[in-house]
Amino acid sequence: MTNLHIPHSRPWISDQDRQAVLDTLAGNMIAQGEKAKAFENAVKEYVRVEHAIAVASGSSAIVLALAALSLGARDEVVLPTYVCRSVLDAVISVGAKPVICDVDLMGVLNQKVVSNAITRRTKAIIAVHIFGRPCDIVSLRSFGVPVIEDACQAFGLDLGGRGAGTLGDIGVYSFHATKCLTTGEGGMLVCRDPELATRARALAMGAAGQGQRLFMPLSDLQAALGLSQLTRYPEFLNRRNLIRTQYLCAAQEFGLQAEEINASGGMFRFTVFVDQPFGELQNQYSSFGISIRKGVDELLHRIVGLSDDDFPCATELFRKTVSLPFYPSLTDQEVGAIRRSFDLLKNGL
């Protein structure tokens, strides 16, 4: 056993971040106000998009996107099985029908898979940049169906000079405590269409739509933290790239299969493919003070009772993928301990 404890995720909170929140507390506005507006403007400038609406969470942003597109009963929404359950819950919450697809070996939707799911009732595609791995949004837009670009794990990912979240009809971000940039909880919807943005903002502030009423504001306290974090965000990404390079070297040293993708991708999770049973491996890592997780907690098609036979790539990814601690607040000592732990992935105890 060891006194070392490395959590799977940990935010990087600085004295500057704390002071930003304290300064907001000392003011007259801590609910949604000028700080939230300033955060929207800062995100718009950072990702280069015309409209941004700050909301309570990434999940809220997906619900808002679906509501802004006026989706409801009998409308179908295509989404991947290899993603957080909240995406499925968002589709169900607006009364639409989820049409769950397999993914490719990178864990993202592709045009071929989606083509088999499109029907005359398809009203949206939710395309996810899982772990910050690029999904080809342009090819998915060829179906003529609105694409909701889930960039909750890809804020700041560069896609050929465009920011992730700005290539679809609507983009969504999450600023949860585990994400690349955090406001504690929080999220944002972005788009280029002014009419869509006006409708989304009205819905986010409580206007009735499709038989439901939404209210999902982001507070100025959260926005103050986001604004502070955004000023340091290039440092966050540089640190992630440095750690990723060290992990890739360790994976090569131990003969492990890791994601060899371009330098602008893989920004949120670092995953390795192994054949050992995950539960056993998790216990081994825990004994060394390191927390690991699977890539996703569950596959959406299993939740709704569909067979693994129709989702071979996602099922294989789910079985083999191990996610290691990978975030900029890791110390050099912690990074070194994780690099040495790659031997467990290769050989076990």
Report the pLDDT averaged over residues 138-150: 97
pLDDT band at residue 249 under the 50/70/90 scheme: very high
Cβ atoms 105, 313 nearer than 8 A = yes
For strands 76-80 and 97-101, give the pairing: parallel
Domain assignment of residue 123, yes or no:
yes
Regarding whether 24 and 68 lie in a shared domain, the answer is yes
Return all residues near 292 (Cβ < 8 A) that are at least 6 apart. 8, 281, 282, 285, 322, 323, 324, 325
Band (288; pLDDT cuts 50, 70, 90): very high
Q: Residue 306 maps to which CATH number?
A: 3.90.1150.10
Q: Give the span between the Cα atoms of 272 and 325, in whole angstroms.
A: 12
Q: In angstroms, rounded to a whole number, what is the distance separating the alpha carbons of residues 226 and 175?
A: 8
Q: What is the share, in percent, of the chain residues with pLDDT greater than 90?
A: 87
In the predicted structure, residue 262 carries a pLDDT above the cut 60: no
Residues in contact with 202: Cβ distance below 8 Å, sequence separation at least 6, in sequence order: none
What is the rounded distance in angstroms from the CA atom of residue 87 to the CA atom of residue 62?
7
Q: How many Cβ atoms from other residues are within 10 Å of residue 70's Cβ?
A: 12
pTM here?
Answer: 0.95
Query: Which of residues 231, 248, 277 is at a domain's end?
Result: 231
On whether residue 44 sits in a domain, the answer given is: yes
* Domain end (from 198, 231, 264): 231
Please give the pLDDT value at position 260: 58
Q: Please give the order of strands across the beta sheet that includes 270-273.
A: 257-258, 270-273, 321-324, 293-294
Nearest in space to 261 (alpha carbons), one of 104, 161, 132, 138: 132
Assess whether pLDDT exceeds 50 at residue 263. no
Handedness of CA 158, 150, 102, 67 (dihedral sign): negative
Domain of residue 133, CATH code: 3.40.640.10
Q: Are residues 199 and 123 in the same domain?
A: yes
Is residue 42 domain-shared with residue 153, that is, in the same domain?
A: yes
Domain assignment present for 294: yes
Statement to judge: residues 209 and 63 lie in one domain: yes
Residue 5 domain flag: no
State the pLDDT at residue 349. 40
Q: Is the pLDDT higher at 187 or at 254?
A: 187
Kindly state whether residue 119 falls inside one of the protein's structural domains. Answer: yes
Confidence label for 208 from pLDDT (cuts 50, 70 and 90):
low
Domain match, 218 and 301 both: no
Domain boundary among 231, 248, 264: 231
Residue 319 counted as domain residue: yes
Q: What's the CA gap between 115 and 254, in Å, rounded?
A: 39
- What range defines the domain where residue 176 resides? 15-231
For the chain, the domain total comes to 2
Inform me whether the pLDDT recorded for 207 exceeds 80: no
